[in-house]
Amino acid sequence: MAGIDFLRPELVVAEREITSRKRLFEYLSALISGVKLGQDRTIDQEEIFTTLHDRERLGCTALGQGIAVPHGRLDGLVDPIMAIVSLKDPIDYDAADGVPVWLVVCLLVPIEASELHLNLLASLVTRFEDDRFVVAVKATRTNKELYDLFSAPSTP
């Protein structure tokens, strides 16, 4: 899958207890803001939250089947950042299909990377169209299992 180069083990969390979409965005913002971007630079937690929240106000980022891909573009990023969180208990996400969200893949890209942004989102959507992959993701219980599954090349 395109984008696995941007996936870091410390940004993959399985079985996380989260109670709402707002709490999810707060958690993702805190998780991602702890990542060093080189030259000891990090991303501001509030900037991440605002980016995710503002994008969500434009339209729900739930794909269906209990999967959401909150995303946005951030000034100052050099490379995309991806965080993956499976939820211990699904949360209401106002998804079009009405299914509560149990898996979240957060994608942040450099502000000028529009084409890359769209390509990474398309790659994720394609991956989630594979029912075997989704079943395997649902079966994961540890951070390592979840990371290994997402970092493995996708099968055609």
Whole-number Å distance between alpha carbons of 65 and 98: 9
Nearest C-alpha neighbor of 18 from the set 85, 106, 111: 85
Distance CA 93, CA 22 (A): 10
Is 71 tagged catalytic?
yes
The DSSP secondary-structure symbol of 6 reads G
The single-letter code of the amino acid at 146 is L
Among residues 11, 48, 66, 71, the one annotated as catalytic is 71
What are the C-alpha distances in Å from 109 to residues 87, 135, 143?
Answer: 23, 28, 23
Residue 112 near residue 103, CB atoms below 8 Å? no
* Beta-ladder partners of 104: 68, 85
Name which of 63, 31, 33, 65 is nearest 47 in CA terms: 33
Q: Which residues are identified as catalytic?
A: 71
